[in-house]
Amino acid sequence: MTILGGKVALITGAAGNVGAATARAFLDAGAPVVLVDRAPARLREMYPNLRDSDQHMLAEGIDVSEPAAAAGLVRNVVSRFGRIDALVNTVGTYRGGKPVHEEDLETWDLLFGANLRTMLVMCRAVIPIMREGGGGRIVNVGARSALSASANSVAYSASKSAVLRLTEGLAQELKASNIAVNCVLPGTIDTPQNREAMPDADFSNWVAPEAVADVILFLASDEARAISGAAVPI
């Protein structure tokens, strides 16, 4: 597949379950990819064939919640490729199990930091580059729980709801700059971690990471050029 036509895609959280599936989908679609992860060597272990690639870039040890790190990453990407056509924000985490009045404030800080701040910081770093380049695509990974909260996981739902509001607002602000901003809202994703946490669940009803990646790929492509501000349930 070559539906991305060589467009440069920056994917955060590329060592995670959804991030890795998205990286594979974008590579198969012919995109030069910049794969980003906070760990210092995990990407080289996962993508040994990309270590010395001229077409792709592994950016390891990058904390995308820190503005200076994000700005440095973007400078390096632009220096190497000249542009950024797509930003995919997959960084995120989950915590739950306590009612609101018992949940530690540290958990709220963790979830808003991982699920919202990482996207906000990366969008702020990339948007000026996309505007200078004439446009681009931003895809954020939210969650179905952004639409309604459940007991004992309110902090998670609130952080993902903020991702939805960020997506909608950016879409309005950037439509005149030809930058489309959308998000995906997966249900429970079929990951080893979720299977371990919920061993008695019916895994057949869960969402494969590859299915999430397929929708992200579509939203980053020209086929979705008329879509912005959407929250796509998966």
Domain borders along the chain are 9-233
- List the one residue out of 63, 78, 159 whose CA is nearest residue 111: 159
Q: What's the CA gap between 156 and 11, in Å, rounded?
A: 22
Query: Residue 171 is encoded by which pair of tokens?
Result: 């879409």
**Across 190-205, average pLDDT:** 81
94 catalytically annotated: no
Q: What is the pLDDT of residue 71?
A: 98
The torsion region of residue 134 among left (phi > 0), alpha (psi -120 to 50) and beta comes to left
Query: Residue 46 is encoded by which pair of tokens?
Result: 């996962």
The pTM of the full predicted model, rounded to 2 decimals, is: 0.94
Q: What is the pLDDT of residues 25-42, one digit of tens each?
A: 999 999 999 999 999 999
Q: Catalytic one among 156, 160, 164, 206? A: 156
Q: What is the pLDDT of residues 135-161, one digit of tens each?
A: 999 999 999 999 988 899 999 999 999
| Residues 201/189, Cβ–Cβ less than 8 Å | no
Could you tell me how far CA 138 lies from the centroid of its own chain?
9
CATH topology classification for 9-233: Rossmann fold (3.40.50)
